[in-house]
Amino acid sequence: MAARKKKTAAPSFLAFVADLGVTLEPGQRVFWSIAADGVEPGELRGADRALARAFFGDVDTIPAGARSVVAAVKGAEIGWSFVLGLRLLYRALTADISDAAPGEVRSALCVAPDVRTGRIPIRVAREFAERHPTISGLIENPTTDGFIIRRENGRTAVECLPASVGGRATRGRRFVEVALDEASMFRDESGAVSDRDVFRSVVTRCKGTTWLGSTPWLPSNLLWKLVEDNWGRPTKALAARLPTESMRSNKKVLADVARVRALDPIAASVEYDCELPSASTLFFDSVALDAAMVDELPAVGPSDALGAGADLGLKRDASALVIASATRGVIVPRELLEIKPKRNQPLKPSTVFERFAETAGVHGVDSILADQHYILSLREGLEGAGIRAVESPSGSAGKLRVHETVRTLLNEGKLRFGPAHRGLVDQLRSIVALPVAGGGVVIRQPRSKYGGHCDLASAFILAAYVLARRLRRTNQPRGVPRATPRPDYTSAQYQFGNTRPVAASEPVLEVVHGLGVVLKCYRKQRRPGDRTFGYGNAFGGY
C-alpha cells in the first residue's frame, strides 16, 4: 500500500511575498505580519513595536475572534492594492478546501466600487503568478477579471466583482478570502449599494479573513464605525490606522506627500493622514440630514408650488432632473430622474432633452433651473416643448449662494426626504466646502471612483433654490393676497414709450416678451450678477 503523502505546512504570507521577489518597507512589513501572519504586537521590539502601536493602538495581544475581520483606514500610496493582490493569490494557493463540494470553486475575491478598481489587485496577482515558475503552470482560464488555480484537491479562483445592490453578486458562494477595496465608496449614485449590504453578504461565507480598506470619508461608513469601535481594543475586528508617512519610507512617496500637504493641507489630512473630513468641511450637517429623513412624506396638493432643477452631463457624468414641491411649509423632492451614460457611449442630447421635457410636462412644470454647463443646448432642446431653461447664479460666488440658501432650509427644518431618497441624501452628505486663500470657501462635489459627480444632489439643490425664492417672495399660502400686490403690467404706464396699448385679453406670452423690454428700459441700474433671473420674476417664475 502506497504511503500517504505528508501535508507540507504552508509558508507564512511574508515568506511567500519574499519568495515572489518583493521587499516590503518597514511599515508594510509590520502591518502585514500582524494582520496576515498572526504575529502579536507584544512580540515586536524597538521601532517595529512603535509602528505596531501607531497602527493598532496600545495592544499586546489580539483576540482570535477579532482576526477574521481587518478594518483599515489608510492613506494613499501605501501599496494596499498591490499587497492585497499578493494576499489573494497566497490564499488561493494555500487555503484549506478539503470540505469543498465536488465541482465547487472557492474564490479569493476582491469587491470594489467598480470592476476597474477591482481589477487592480487581480492584475498584480496574475502578473506574479505567471512569472513564478511553479505557479504559472497551475493557471487556468485567465481573464481581465480573474483566473483559476488548479490544485491537487480542487480548484480555487482569484477574481473581482463590483459591489452590487444588496450584495446580490456575492451571495450563495463560499470564499477563501475576501477584500472589500475602497469600502467607503460602496454606494452607487442612486444610493442603492451600501458597504453594510456587501459586508453582510460575504462575512458569513468567508473561510479566511475579510479585509476592509479605504481612505476615510463619512462617519456613517461601516469601515469608520469598525475602526472607531475596535482601534486599541479589538473585539469584533482588528482595526488599523495606516497613515502614508508611517507605512512608507520611499523618499519619492514622502516627497509627494510633502508637496501635496503644502498645496492643500485639508486634502492631505484625508488622503494621507487617515483623518475624517471635519464637520466644518462637510457642507451639509449630517445630523440635520438625518433629522430630515421621515418615513412618510406629506402628500402634494394641487396648489403647491413646484420647482425643477437640472444637472446636465453627457459623457462621464449623468444627466439629472429633480422636481420638488413646497408642501405645508417644507420642500420635498417629488421625482428624481437620472440618465447615466454607458462606458464609451455618451448620452445623446436629444434623448436627454426629450426625457426632461416629458418628466417636466407630467408635473406641469414650465421652467427648469440649470447651471451654465450646456445651458444653451438645454434651452434649444426644451424650446419645442414650451419649457424654459433658466441659468442659475454663475461663478463660485453664485454657486455658494445657491448652496447656502438650501443649507439654511435644511437647518431650519424645511426639507423632507423619504426612504426612497437615501441616495440623494448621501450625495448631499458628501458635498464639502474648502477654504480658499483670502477667506471664503468653494463648494466641491467629490467625484466617486465609479463615476458620477453628485448629479442628483446638484439638481435637487437647484430645485430647492427655486422654491426657496418663491417662498420668500410670497411667505404665505396661495390664494391669500400679497401685502404688496404685483403691478398691473397691462396698464399704459408700463408700455415701452407709451406707444402701444395692451389689451387686457392680450396673450400673456406677448406681455412677457414685452416686459423684457420694459425691464431693460426701467431698470438700467441693474448690473450683471445682480440677483435676478430676468422677466420671469414678475410672473412668479425664477
pTM: 0.60
Q: How far is CA 296 from CA 60, 290, 292, 411, 462, in A?
A: 50, 14, 11, 20, 23
Phi, psi of 468 (to 5 degrees): -60, -40
SS3 146: strand
365 contacts 337 by C-beta, under 8 angstroms:
no
- List the Cα angle 149/151/153 in 5-degree steps: 140
Query: Is-same-fold flag (66-271; 286-474)?
Result: no
Angstrom distance (rounded) from CA 138 to CA 384 = 63
- 3-state SS class at 307: strand
Span 232-280, pLDDT tens digits: 999 999 999 999 999 999 999 999 999 999 888 878 888 899 987 665 5
DSSP states along 79-115:
-HHHHHHHHHHHHHHHS--TTPPTT-EEEEEEEESSH
Contact 403, 256 (CB under 8 A): no
Rounded alpha-carbon distances, angstroms, from residue 178 to 171, 198, 459: 13, 11, 37
Cα–Cα distances in angstroms (integers) from residue 99 to residues 95, 96, 102, 488, in the given order: 11, 8, 9, 85
Written as nine digits, the cell of 381 is 432642446
pLDDT at residue 216 in the model: 84
**Per-residue cell: 36:** 496576515
Question: What's the CA angle centered on 302, arms 300 and 305, to 5 degrees?
Answer: 75
Burial class (CB in 10 A: 0-12, 13-18, 19+), 385: middle
Distance CA 257, CA 192 (A): 34
∠ at Cα 69 (66, 75), nearest 5°?
Answer: 115
CATH of 66-271, one of 3.40.50.300, 3.20.19.10, 3.30.10.20, 3.40.30.10: 3.40.50.300
Question: Which three cell numbers, joined as nine digits, stand for 325?
Answer: 414641491
Question: Options 3.30.420.240, 1.20.1060.10, 3.10.440.10, 3.30.360.10; which CATH number does 286-474 get?
Answer: 3.30.420.240
pLDDT for 529 equals 43
**pLDDT tens digit at each of 542 positions of the chain:** 444 555 567 899 999 999 999 999 999 999 999 999 999 999 999 999 999 999 999 999 999 999 999 999 999 999 999 999 999 999 999 999 999 999 999 999 999 988 899 999 999 999 999 999 999 999 999 999 999 999 998 999 999 998 876 667 778 789 999 999 998 877 644 444 578 888 999 999 999 999 999 988 777 788 989 999 999 999 999 999 999 999 999 999 999 999 999 888 878 888 899 987 665 577 898 889 999 999 999 988 888 999 999 998 877 778 899 999 999 889 999 999 988 887 778 888 888 999 999 999 999 999 999 988 778 888 998 988 999 999 999 888 889 899 999 999 999 999 999 999 988 998 898 888 875 544 466 787 766 544 456 889 999 999 999 999 887 766 544 444 444 444 443 444 433 333 333 344 333 333 333 333 333 333 333 344 443 333 233 323 33
Nearest CA to 224 out of 205, 235, 237 is that of 237
349 and 377 Cβ atoms separated by less than 8 Å:
yes
**How far apart, in whole angstroms, are the C-alpha atoms of residue 287 and residue 292?**
9
Contacts of the segment 341-350: beta carbons below 8 A, 24+ positions apart: 341/313, 341/314, 341/315, 341/316, 341/317, 346/314, 346/315, 347/313, 347/314, 347/315, 347/319, 349/314, 349/374, 349/377, 349/381, 350/381
Distance, in Å, from the CA atom of 15 to the CA atom of 22, rounded to the nearest integer, reads 10
**pLDDT score, position 540:** 34
Q: SS3 string of 49-80? A: HHHHHHHHCCCCCCCHHHCCEEEEEECCCCCH
**Of 285, 239, 204, whose CA–CA distance to 71 is shortest?**
239
Show me where the domains of the chain are located.
Answer: 66-271, 286-474, 492-539
DSSP β-bridge partners for residue 441 = 435
- For the record, the C-alpha cell of 477 comes out as 399660502
